[in-house]
Structure 1
Amino acid sequence: MLAIAAAVVFGIYLLLDLFDVKTTDLFNFPTFAALGLLLLSLYLAGIGSGPRNGSGGSGRRFSGRRPGRG
């Protein structure tokens, strides 16, 4: 989810840059870059990467007959 938010931030800045929209000092390139990179770093750190399995353990979960077993 955070990676999507970072993409949105970078996309908004790209559109503002392409249409040459004048922004205030609050919304300039370093602000957008810092916000986007912060969101990406949080995503890569594993924060906000989605729901976790409550049962613990990893691997696939199959219901019914497992594939590949005769």
Structure 2
Amino acid sequence: MLAIAAAVLFFIAFLINAADIATNDVFASTNLMLVGLGLLALHVAGIGNGWAARGRRR
């Protein structure tokens, strides 16, 4: 789920950068890219994966 959110943020950052849209400092393409990288790092670390295999017993 975090990887999907990161992909959406990367796409929005790309659109802002490609269209040369003037935004305020909070929604700058670099800031969105850094938030996307943070979400991608959390996804790779295993946080927010959703289903967990722990607790399954036969």
- When the two structures are superposed, what TM-score results if normalisation uses the length of structure 1? 0.69
Q: Which runs of 5+ in 2 are unaligned?
A: none
Distance (Å, rounded) in 1 between the aligned partners of 2:13 and 2:48: 23
Q: Which protein is richer in helix relative to its size?
A: 2
Q: CA RMSD in A?
A: 1.5
Mind listing any 5+ residue stretches in structure 1 that lack a counterpart? 57-70
Which residue is 1:28 aligned to?
Answer: 28
Instruction: Specify the structure having the higher radius of gyration (Cα).
Output: 1
TM-score (norm 2): 0.81
Q: What SS does structure 2 have at the residue aligned with 1:27? A: coil
Aligned length: 56
Q: Which runs of 4+ in 1 moved over 4 A?
A: none
